[in-house]
Amino acid sequence: MAAAAAAAAICTPRSALGSLDGRAVVAPGARRVGPVAVFARVLKPVEERFKIQHEKNVPAERLKELGVERWSKWECGPNVTYRHAWQVDEQIYISKGSVMVTPEDCDDSAYFYQGDVVRFPKWLVADLTFDEDYEQCYRFLAYGD
């Protein structure tokens, strides 16, 4: 029975509980006895919140299917951070290094590594941080691609 009350405390809003075991709700600042309701909001990953599509360690067959060998190339040196605003969807293949992507007005970051294919959505604005030499192949995508 005590386990059921504890489970109810975790899953039920405090205002709906009144009290867990028949006693009055404890006033703020007073000592609490028994189970305490804890509420936390779980944030989705940055990729999901900002609609960044990510494929990890993409096999050679998939790269050939995408036509990565025909994409444009871009590279930069280590210890570089800059803000980028996407005006159109962009798909990249990271051929060397890694990148940390921190969307505008967001405290969280997404990390992408060598061998990953990433698609950034149109209108995304983010800070890109490169801690080592970095190379990518990229292409811009039309609506519906």
pLDDT at 9 over 90: no
Query: What Rg value do the Cα atoms of the chain yield, rounded?
Result: 24
pLDDT, residue 6, reads 45
Domain ranges, residue 92: 52-141
What tens digit of pLDDT does each residue of 102-111 get? 999 999 999 9
Buried b (16+ CB within 10 A) or exposed e, 70-105: ebeeeebeeeeeeeeeeeebbbbbbeebebebbbee
What is the tally of structural domains in the chain?
2
Domain assignment of residue 46, yes or no: no
Report whether 80 contacts 127 (CB < 8 A): no
What tens digit of pLDDT does each residue of 38-88 get? 777 788 999 999 999 999 999 999 999 999 999 999 999 999 999 999 999
- Whether residues 58 and 36 share a domain: the answer is no
CATH number at residue 57: 2.60.120.10
Q: Please give the average per-residue pLDDT across 19-35, as a whole number.
A: 61
